[in-house]
Structure 1
């Protein structure tokens, strides 16, 4: 091979060149240096032949095609290029020419950073500026400066990198380290019992946690008060203080969320740091149909925005809302996609602690507790279910009689006053009215009332919830000494409902006298009631007959026609059971086995007890008296006395005599023998 110089204008690309026939190459990296210094590297060529003869001064390029294109481009721009150095290959050896072209192209590899740093450092010492170096080698100023920054590394680290003992990622991370950190890292590298971090782990070690690139910041870097270190080999810089970064990043994230909401998105959900957005669990939903925006934040501070998504459940709910809106059934509020702010367990925790605190203080405020009690009775709650007595009459005459009674009119007036205090309409019972706010709304209203008004409302509510025919009615009537005569007198409905012949005849005897009663003893019940009503309407009763009203007035909790019968039997006598154990008959005349001086006494509504002669009733034991009155075994007219037969049974239970199994059985005449209704003491 001979060395020489040749004019580029007299050269062409040889067909033996490995890049022959391809498009013009990119010469942007070598064009500046060739314009300034020309082609300095030798180009491999062969002499050009034509018709078997060599053409003097003309050559074909085997290797150096890009340099020739760069030289021709400089000549085209008017730059004078010196003859280029060439190496003339021996003619006829085409294989050697192909190998030379391949070797030359394979050898054209970029130099490592350390070699570049050494070369650039020499140029700097000769007086060249980094800008001039960048222009000569077609590099950016940042690349030149980052390469020159390798001088900040300790010589040993540069030597390790040149020998490829450490990789590129490690040496680039070490450019971020201080001199003391570099020495500490070398100490870990030399220690066989310790492992020196490399690559990405080295960045984590240098920054004391995850390395956060500056490009991930949502805020302006000019406004960041902390320090930022540049990666001298890459394009990123990093925050030295992660805590300060997250403070600024969260503020910018909140501003971004507000901007998205102002842009019309239904909701913006910020995911937990490090949690990725699971798109396979969500569906695409547009902004107009209630789609949400999800902001995913990586541990390195990178924020990814996912617009127009809903979970599968929320998407179905949104579709249902859209379908309703299309049918005109929607409420116009759009789909509800907000989830609960607290979990169910946390809500239970909060509720129980608030409940404990409120009831602890409520125990010291009786007035507030009273108002809260009345509010619960009126409107109810999850634990309260108070109902007003339905007052079902089952008979039109009974209903009309009760509605026309003075007691009902008086209570309705009280009810209307209580409704006015609560600010509701007086159109029925107060109990069961939910109203606005339920029990809490009623409680708020009661807090504004004085104690006297609250007690008035409480009295009406209790009156509405008092069960008709209950032992509570009787107990309250006894305590308050209710005068029934002031609220009731026998009316047409009372007489219409009497069906017992003996009771009607007893009342007729009270009103018209014994002669009238005995004279109509065999008449029909209807006839005797008509005679009784005539006496009452004309008020032609003897003075002793007026005791009937008083006797009936003392029994507010019992059926009045039974009360009249009990009164008559207690005061004037009745039939006793026969010695054979047969019960009294309801027919005409005395029952079998009845002797003179035997009178029937009042008893349980399901049966009648009797006593012989004029023997007094035994006292009711104090331990059973509340139970007896609660179950309604005896009317108030007994005055706390115990019938002798049940007194004996009571003694038998105490071990003296008798037993529950020894009760006497009775059966009516004409019926099959069997067990008939009996009385129980409790």
Structure 2
């Protein structure tokens, strides 16, 4: 059983910042003061004093045998010192006294306290986690204590691989997160070479460009490989901050990748495809210049190779001009009389006359056959043929984080699964299973109509429903109406992620969210905190860090159908 903490009041002169405090900074950097920013809490402490005890442990010094080291409460300590320097008086300071022998427990307590109050930087987390690791804590144990993933712990510990000048530059906010994370993949020599370049006025690669610089070419991740990894004879750069590791030797990657493409091309030819055309690296395959043809109809396979190592095999295509020539030969009817005149049977006006009457009769008779009309409607929805123009909503966004969040969402995964099922129903081979193309439909309306005629009503309705889902316009009232009428539950499909919090910057709205999840008193205490600090309070409440009752199911008021507003103005959509 854990021994309860001792509560008492001690003199301010008996306190100092413990070396185990995660925010302890014994030295100044570039002439800056190590004292923390106190503007948000100093007025309150001047007026009311310390309301929450500092967390300390016995740490005698050479000059003071009764001294205590502060594990958590560094800013409150500096506030008391500021009051004394102003000529104010400070009585006994309330403290909770920990066991003096357990360094690991002290470090844990410091991290938990600081995470709950003021979000630590990645470098501060590295320092704290490194201390725990050196005290014998495993990566899994560190992750368990703070409710984070082992991957995040590994990421923070990886910052220890950086040379000192890079650590200092990152601490001084001279290097951004994406760049410093990429530098953890570099050798010590590469780190030094990069910093030497960074210290000049010349162009210095950062972010994704830096990853390419480290490998001497493009940034190619391991999941792009078509070959077994044992066929690659180069080095792999371990990327703890990305989804995939990357190839360090681009030439050796392409040597293995090209060999694998050649093997796959031979397999296609053995399987009966007329020919396989391998495109140049980085060249796009223009589908709109090609017609779809099956293997039996003489279709070819076209290989598209991206600069990033991605390879797509486009099966069943031939140039449109070639397809037209073949179609003309196959559908040409023999002349009844080789000497007959080539003059058309009807003049232009007569052809128009007959065509208009045929059109009217067909439409009138279609009124009596709703099932056929349903299938023809769906065929038009799929092909945008004739008087119909139907486009997919491409959900465009300029934010990479938004695109990533959307792509990985449960809703988009369900749509992708259904898209594949619809292609299979129609017996179409679709690259990435896209039924709608940006410029023109790859499908022929007569062909689609013929396929739908032979389907049962349920299958046709399923395809029609999917077409409507694909073409529903974003930011329209219809979106809200559909969600309400179908009983869609926002919380079943979405949780607040990094992309959401990165875009959330309004401090007044953030404070209302803090009030919503943590209560009025916490919101009032955090009213003047930075947006970053208030976000961390919300994240800690969701994760259950430093609180007895976590709120993992919390969602902002906007995440509902119909939505609610934080400022009492009805729906914001």
In our comparison, the structure showing a higher alpha carbon Rg is 1
**Higher relative contact order structure (alpha carbons within 8 Å, sequence separation ≥ 6):** 2
- Which TM-score band (shorter chain)? 0.3 to 0.5
Q: TM-score, normalised by structure 1?
A: 0.30
